[in-house]
A and B are shown apart, each in its own frame.
Chain A
């Protein structure tokens, strides 16, 4: 007996390698972590990505700007509308295309619906990571489902919508869209309160998320964090305020920020942002004018030679498109600044020295989408 016990003690002091993923619920997609563990504590962490790499940036160089819009759906597949919007705004700036006012309002409505749907997914899976397996997630799926119904009603697709066009949007929503949207925004505030009441005062959830995965404001800025990951650390930076695009300058909304930069703050920032998005949609519905939903652009669009860095505030933060045109129908260089990838810059620093379950929750709070990481 004494010998076995000694042997057990020897191995207890020896670090071991733990492989998480690529197929694992806590990695939110095909994403792999190679973790060096000392008991329950992480000593080193390496992320291995690329399982979903489709080389979109290379493929885009052989396709016209309009043909590239469906790629953006598949980059961040939980925020297809925001990704469409980012590319269209960048191309419009590059080619000097004007967008009708109605189209700008429709873009705001759909981008905010997408934000609510994406945040519901992010917070739902985070609660799952924290141990409340599936039940809160399915609550949060309920309204996401209604939003996807609205997308389907308008453009025929639920996930890869391909709805925005250079110069506007593809379709004007059908008549039955508006009553359904009204019903949704009327019930959303009460639903969001219900979700919040499910978890925000739960002792277990607080124990799993308070003071876990803390990122200081200085680190968040220096580490290029964006979106709720940056705002959770108390930095009130939102491109919808800083650089208003579409008609966001006519909307009244607040930019919620956290105080401690922990997982709980990032969760609450997303929760509050869904309330603000609901308010934005209500204002847009009240203000939306009639008129065309799309400008006619030459189908053979050849933007003049030059470059542009267009960006929008997607659900995960700054989503940028760096396009270089040489005057041909296809971009010479097509680069997507993917918030999911760049938000992982501090992952190793966050994870080293903490326990594995805390690192899983910290990763969940960054809200990564593997399609967006790999592109």
Chain B
């Protein structure tokens, strides 16, 4: 698919794997339109539009679906500007992007140019920040958000036989092989 898309829109594809194709963010609308209209891919429906915060950049992920050919096409746009991310809207191609882009804007703070009604969706105008960003409400002490270890992973008695029958609700068993004394307070991985 990457080869066909790259041939049709020279310079638009930056990278491709077996599962998805990455396109230049400025040309994502063009790429989506081509995929929708091409007979070979027939990506008639935008199933899902979302974004992932990778600390230094954002990935905007489009899951496209062909209803006639029953296959899925995954397109990603890597938006490098973490401070003020922006890319063209998919709404002119898929009306189904209307609320999904508002959601991404609200929770991730990515702006979609040409969106007819880009406002916050769940939170109110003036809400400080965008909650799904990884740096929202930064945690002190060099920690980053996320769960690196299981709760009480190394507080449990190592000799005690851990299985489903004798677990208390406060305890999770240590993983097979154990994870040593790696500690959350030391800053995760």
Question: Which A residues contact B (CB, under 8 angstroms)?
Answer: 49-50, 53, 55, 57-58, 61-64, 219, 221-225, 235, 237, 242-243, 298-300, 302, 309, 311, 318, 320, 322, 324, 326, 328-330, 332-333, 335, 337, 341-342, 344-346, 349, 374
Contacts and interface: CB of A to CB of B under 8 A. Distances in A.
Nearest to B94: A222
A310 B158 CA distance: 37
B129 to A, nearest CB: 12
A342 B131 CA distance: 21
A297 B53 CA distance: 29
B70 interface: yes
B153 interface: yes
B47 A320 contact: yes
A225 B45 CA distance: 9
Interface stretch (B5-13, B22-30, B80-88, B173-181): B173-181
Main secondary structure of the interface of B (DSSP, over half): loop
A219 B52 contact: no
Interface in B124-146: 124, 131-132, 136, 145-146
Contact of A224 (B45, B131, B150): B45
B179 to A, nearest CB: 9
Q: 7 tightest A-B contacts by CB?
A: A224-B96, A50-B122, A330-B147, A300-B175, A53-B122, A337-B48, A223-B95
A57 B52 CA distance: 11
Given A50-B121, A224-B47, A62 B147 contact: yes
A320 B173 contact: no
30 contacts: A50-B124, A58-B131, A221-B45, A221-B67, A222-B95, A223-B94, A223-B95, A224-B46, A224-B47, A224-B95, A224-B97, A224-B100, A225-B96, A242-B70, A243-B70, A299-B164, A299-B172, A300-B153, A300-B175, A302-B175, A311-B47, A320-B47, A320-B63, A322-B50, A328-B146, A329-B149, A333-B52, A337-B47, A337-B48, A337-B50
